[in-house]
Structure 1
């Protein structure tokens, strides 16, 4: 043990001894102050730790309560329960750490201050008193007169006693000094070792606790990543649906008033109606009505029991109300009572009346019998049997694989992000989710966005996507980016940069090859026309024709493409697609079924409904009908072509498709709203033309479309059933036209005779 103060010096009571004990006293005083401060701070820290543990336990209890709330979700409840147990274990270990530190402080620092330092101070008091007594005895001995022996003896005796006592106390004091100097090291080291052991144990146990759930955390992280992707996809879908509905020019009532006789949940129709009370006050109350289980019922709140208005719909009738104070009323009358109801609009009223009537008829099985009779009438229109095999219905996945296999379609057309899941159907390109949102903001007149994975795709749309593709469209819309040294955005570019690029590319069309400012007109050779008096204007060939204007790939114009046989042969040597006005270019390319050139013409401002005054006022859509190009017609329709625009003979695309016997195009035009009642200059509508040409399939389609229209306009009960049959048959025709067109080249030579 290191001796701070020597015992020999103590006996001498030398200056060195006095200086040593003064240094020790100062050091012990400072040590006491610092230890008391440390103990105070430690106690405050431990108290804060106890408060933290208490609040943390409340937090864990809250997590457990949340776990109970999510008990129906196995993943969420399991995650919350497992993590709350781990956190609770950590809190227990933290509480143990606080107790260990508290015990260590009490055993070492606190006891050292209260016992050893206090004993040192008491010994110091005895030493100071003994030192003072010795000083007094020395002074008294020095002052004793030599002539007074008794005083000398007393002074000498007192000095010996004081010196003996001082030596005894000073030895004890020196011992206490040396002991406390050694013990302070032990106590402080033991405290720190105990503290660090407790901390090490706490963190080791915490590490082991979290290591035990490490595999579960990784598994949960993967699930979380998938949840984030699903959430983003759901958000995109909701935004798309939101934007689509906002673009529809309909009122809420038009969307809300619908009924379904064959609803899977048995609820034919439901919605709010006002009901007049049967009391003397005749008050009106708004209630939620529904038609279900052959009954008319209502309720005020979802949890309320259903109140039955009509027990059996077969025993009631319905009629428009005669209440003079309110509009849109109708009355449900049964043998026992009647109920006056009020809708929000006239359409709402008529739909409810029709729904009740349909439910009444369904109860008597009239709907099934009427459907059979309609199917028999539909089948009697054709003399053959249509083959609606599975081959005519290509799988969705196969079609999407074809789209994604087109050159350039594996990356976003505008930012090159891999595996795009969206498409612009009028441009024929694939897009990533962010670029698709920007395209959607441009408006449908610039880009019509559809999901490759979530939306259903018609076969003609899939073929359209396969005819174009990102590489083809970018050769048109990005033709000048190299010479302009424009930097194309990449997948990580900010949305603002992508939006500016897309607007410059498709709206402002900054990167396409510009036409000369003077314009380009359709150039023709000087020919004498026998049947026409109008000729196309001549124009000089542009100094630098646009690159994307391609030649017709070895095809020549036929008489059906707007120029007769003689003119076609003469024009073949001097007409090139690159020399045409954009409208005329679109017109010629439509006849040649060249979709890239058609897209090029539209990019250069061609009017999709451009009229060729020198060729019977035909439009590009009519030109595409002649060779029977389903894809070219679909492309023009997606880009705003008018399906009812007539030529000089009052014939629209539907007339021409009927004349040429293109069943798939007839189906396409009918689906796009073509008028089947319009007559040409000879007074013939499309169905008459189909009968004259003995085309059984087209007659079937036209008659079915006419029947469907009549059922929609009729006030009868079964108009909706015709819609389902109509849609099913037209869907089968569309699949066959896209995948097995040879099956639609069926004619019946007996049709005209039997009809006449």
Structure 2
């Protein structure tokens, strides 16, 4: 049994803790702050001396000043971490120590005053709640302290590595090509951070101090730069605000216990919220920017420039490693912004039916017409047969997908798919990659689904199960479950998609073309599942099959050898290449009547099915492939007046500058038909 303690004794204990907090803990913070300011002053002096050196400075002076800079920097970092530790200790004690003391006082009153039990017993649930909160805060503070120590250790290790690289004069190449390569390599680490900021918290990619040259007076100012996961680069004139004095925060009477907890919570909330608007920040637009090493003034060291359409920013880092780190990360962000620029213009799906310009029922996605895109993509796709579990290991609630395979995956199997390469599986997240899920892709997934796709890729496995042969045969491998190790999943997925060991292939006669006629007929009849099946089971890539590969009869247009032909025959051949001079097109008044040289993508454009178009593009169809008359799929769309498919092709990278054999581009072919009423189509044709 806990002995009864006088409330006065407990209050004395609280006062002692408060006095210790005021006289010891806060004093430690003040001393750490003074030492930090002193070390910062010495470090600033050493840095200014070092960065002001000219290129023609004697080597011994450079070495001496660099050594002073490293020593002062090491001292500065040590004092900075000491100050951070002291402040963390104060914050930790604010969260749990005083709450424990107050709870102890209340508990003592509850046990001591028997006559006041009826009144004080009403506070008992709250008392235990506060005790629980204090314990949770204490545990959270311990976790945060561990994280802080780990980050400090990582920072120190990285600083030692950077110092070693600088001392060994390891300087990355400064040509423009190297910047592009490094940026593209870093894009793999930067891209997930940028994608996570679409619906989540914005994260910092890099931050730190740089010297910025003033555009007006040419002097150098030290600014704090921040590069975040939204692709924004901004800098502050001041890093932070002067902290509020601790003395005025604790002037309340110790005996006034009625509002202690409320005051503590309010004070704690104020300490966590700083108004960054008073820092005076400026933003650099990276969307149309380029970055170059060095400046036009060759006498300065460790500089790089950010060139925007409106302004040029000349920046100077402390050392070569820091400069290249800034250059690489900014370049990676620029690459990511450029890659996502087209998709960003079409994140939101237009709901009013009046915006739909498709001439037939296939040209417009049902998702656009019905407007059920408001439902989360993950919930929508999991309703498709088989999509409630992973297509590979049957793990529940898969939240990753393979765009070209049309299946949903768990996070572990998605990593295996990603290692296969994008030519086999294009892995995207249902929750993070929101810009990917356009209506055509969503409807493609609705048409396929895990159940249908696995009926193709696991045909032999399902066949063995149907005849009660659970053991793997020579042509199959066992399917893993969610709890299996990753190595079994890798072996199964590789056999399934790379080796294609589980597919039931069509029986072909010797000499027969591999499903060319079948896939041409399937595209013509808008049989999406059959096209998917034929693309999956084929041993070779047949997605770029042409009409010439399919027909067995003599082609309408004859190809004339230019070397051995006369001028008259060459002139005749040139005339028949022009689509306006093609007799088949003239007789039928149908631009799609002549299929010579057309690919499956050309045929899908004539059918007007956006989902079929998306399926072929996902499997690698050449979006700019030309037919006999030099027409691309974009030419066919604009000739048929299918503006919705034309805009879809332009967003996916179709080039409107390609001319047909008549010497006209897609834009010029549209203008032949009169004024372009679709403003969006006109803009896309001019931009691509």
Question: Which interval holds the TM-score relative to the shorter structure?
Answer: 0.3 to 0.5
- Return the TM-score normalized by structure 1: 0.41
Q: Which has the higher helix share?
A: 1
